[in-house]
Structure 1
């Protein structure tokens, strides 16, 4: 087995079972193609590669084989590669697509393995075209691009314009687009997870806020770990780190917005996890902008408890909370967490002491608490998130 295969599904199962043919043509952007192919593999895809003859002046076949983990084809032989690859693969991705190849495929010219294979896919299976060339050249072939984008199952991934050049879209943008068009619809599967993440803010006036220092790292680590295990994941993020491009994210600011969005979305999810640092208090805010010469007195009032409201609204869902305290001994920390677990009828709660690992730390020490068990776990947030996911899987199966 080629070592590249070990990457398969290490980020998600969104492309599991999909076979993608990457056609590399002779733009300098071809040097990014191994990175692109490996990113597709990380989401579960099997990747094949074909190249035009000129590509070998820019990047070697060994580098491309390193990227996809399969043999790289550069010509059509008695093995009729264009037919074999069409039958084998779910879609064709031309990356990068030069002015020459775009013009030829639109005119139906078949004089190399790439445009010949395109004709097999054209009108039958999805084709993704990622242009890369000088801006002047792009304008010159605009007719071909416009005609292609109006064809069924042909998608043009728009370039980014820099320094007078139409540069290929980012690897993340391309992979995200392919996931959107042909990825596995995990929304239809059970075990859908909604994660509340980051630190909420409360407005003092129209420009000033009260907030906290939550980094959002734990919620993102959880989102990635659940996605890797094949769960469908969405995140509601206030302030702090956002999830990676392949996980849907909803932006909010205040605790009220967080609660409203969670209540709205949770009906479509089986598991709700609140790792967010949600403001306990809101401010009776001032209109406009306070003068810096004033010494205002802020009047605070309590926000609704998000976990409590979620449990009222969704009595049968798995709901998991976090409880952060500061400088408590182990017994008191666990007892406080259990109080919240029982008060809101949670399925699980994760407790931590911020005096040991403060907001933003890459490492943490937590207690994973259910009604029947307490387990202490420490390590990087990635490692701890993976352990939490393992525990949640146990809950789902029980």
Structure 2
């Protein structure tokens, strides 16, 4: 992100203090940050704080630094404008094209991606006027994040909480990295699995794998930012992304149960979890101690269910909607019998899913890392190379493929009805 120019707008809400964390994350990633608060925002956080964090002067009015035409120049030279918090008033002014302060003027002149992170009381967020303003902004190409749910000002709780700075920053970095984040999954239910399963040996120990859950969490976060209602079935301890419902599990059997339950009403299922192929056949109720009678001579294993194959079978049986797009992941290592890609092609043929993401894994490769790469294989024979990039960008590219497949299916269905 070094050298990227980001304008951080700050609206006049109590959540303005969270903008400080966002500014720090962006500057530490190498971005040049200009902070543009509204006058109301300075009642919550002073300009000295914003200047100290960004290293740049702060102003609010269009008559500041007139010789440089600052009210036009900021938007013209920005690579991204992100506003956090975007209050109901600011959303209304932006949607109507107002230019009565430096921030709204910058929004009008910006030709780069614009990301707004709303924050307000639930009643204000749900008001028809706010909904119309948000719809207008999205139609104009502005990315408006769904707000988080939780504690608001005072004792109130509900939708309208500003997402955490890390949630906003990840979408900002994604847009700076070439991500698109279209609002194309609204009204869709996307189920994502993430993390490695833990197969219990005794109350203390388990069999597991190196999966961190980062890729699945990235898919969940990006799907929510593109408008989907997201259910994340996960074993990971990572923070749950904003506007995502999480179901926590540990074992493969729990993962299977919760995934099939959620998939019964899903439009897309992305099975990114790293599921253990085997689990102990016998689980001790007490800790196994070395040098004692409980020390096992061996640990017998039994196969875990093939959850992706079960999803395909459930769709064939009508327990998962027929239009549902099923996406699998193949974490592979090459060996004497074939390359990573060859193993992936064979797995796609066996599983019968619609799309399969194939990536190479291993110690210090993919698992636990912030980047990923590989291929998207389609049941129709299509193959798309995914250059190594951030896991958020890979998630965006994968969801592009999912929406393109859904669109082709819809067109075929419409054509069949016409015939």
- Residues 252-261 or 308-317, more deviating: 308-317
- Asked whether 1:50 is paired with 2:40, we answer yes
Q: TM-score normalized by structure 2?
A: 0.55
**C-alpha distance in 1, partners of 2:274/2:331?**
9
Root-mean-square deviation (CA), in Å? Answer: 4.7
**What displacement does 1:326 show?**
1.7
User: Helix, strand or coil for the counterpart of 1:341?
Assistant: helix
Asked if structure 2 preserves the Cα contact closer than 8 Å seen for 1:22 and 1:37, the reply is no
**What displacement does 1:245 show?**
3.6
Give 1:293's match in structure 2, choosing from 284, 291, 294: 291
**What displacement does 1:355 show?**
4.7
Partner residue in 2 for 1:172: 164
Partner residue in 2 for 1:379: 388
**C-alpha distance in 1, partners of 2:122/2:263?**
39
CA change 1:229–1:291 in 2 (3 A) is same
For residues 198-249 of structure 1, the C-alpha deviation after alignment (integer angstroms, 9 at most, x for no partner) is: 0001111122111111111111222233233333322111135343243222
**C-alpha distance in 2, partners of 1:194/1:270?**
8
**What displacement does 1:51 show?**
5.9
Give 2:225's match in structure 1, choosing from 210, 225, 228: 228
Partner residue in 2 for 1:322: 329
For residues 146-183 of structure 1, the C-alpha deviation after alignment (integer angstroms, 9 at most, x for no partner) is: xxxxxxxx964469xxxxxxxxx99639x99xxxxxxx
Asked if structure 2 preserves the Cα contact closer than 8 Å seen for 1:33 and 1:67, the reply is no
1:165-204 mapped onto 2 (5 Å cutoff): 172=164, 189-204=186-201
1:15-30 mapped onto 2 (5 Å cutoff): 22-23=12-13
CA change 1:355–1:258 in 2 (3 A) is closer
**What displacement does 1:192 show?**
2.2
CA change 1:204–1:319 in 2 (3 A) is same
**What displacement does 1:330 show?**
10
**C-alpha distance in 1, partners of 2:16/2:187?**
39
For residues 255-286 of structure 1, the C-alpha deviation after alignment (integer angstroms, 9 at most, x for no partner) is: 00001010111122200011111011111211
- Asked whether 1:267 is paired with 2:268, we answer no
**What displacement does 1:61 show?**
11
**C-alpha distance in 2, partners of 1:324/1:51?**
47
Partner residue in 2 for 1:249: 246
CA change 1:289–1:321 in 2 (3 A) is same
For residues 302-354 of structure 1, the C-alpha deviation after alignment (integer angstroms, 9 at most, x for no partner) is: 11111111122223221110112223489643333233323332000011222
**C-alpha distance in 1, partners of 2:371/2:122?**
51
1:1-398 mapped onto 2 (5 Å cutoff): 22-23=12-13, 32=18, 50=40, 125=124, 156-157=153-154, 172=164, 189-239=186-236, 241-283=238-280, 284-294=282-292, 295-296=295-296, 297-315=298-316, 316=322, 317-328=324-335, 332-355=339-362, 357-371=365-379, 372-380=381-389, 381-398=391-408
CA change 1:69–1:320 in 2 (3 A) is farther
Aligned residues: 288
**C-alpha distance in 1, partners of 2:356/2:315?**
17
**C-alpha distance in 1, partners of 2:273/2:199?**
14
**C-alpha distance in 2, partners of 1:312/1:68?**
59
Task: Extract unaligned runs of 5+ from structure 1.
Answer: 9-19, 40-46, 73-84, 91-120, 128-153, 160-168, 177-185
- Residues 252-261 or 336-345, more deviating: 336-345
**C-alpha distance in 1, partners of 2:228/2:359?**
25
CA change 1:49–1:23 in 2 (3 A) is farther
User: Helix, strand or coil for the counterpart of 2:12?
Assistant: strand
Larger radius of gyration: 1
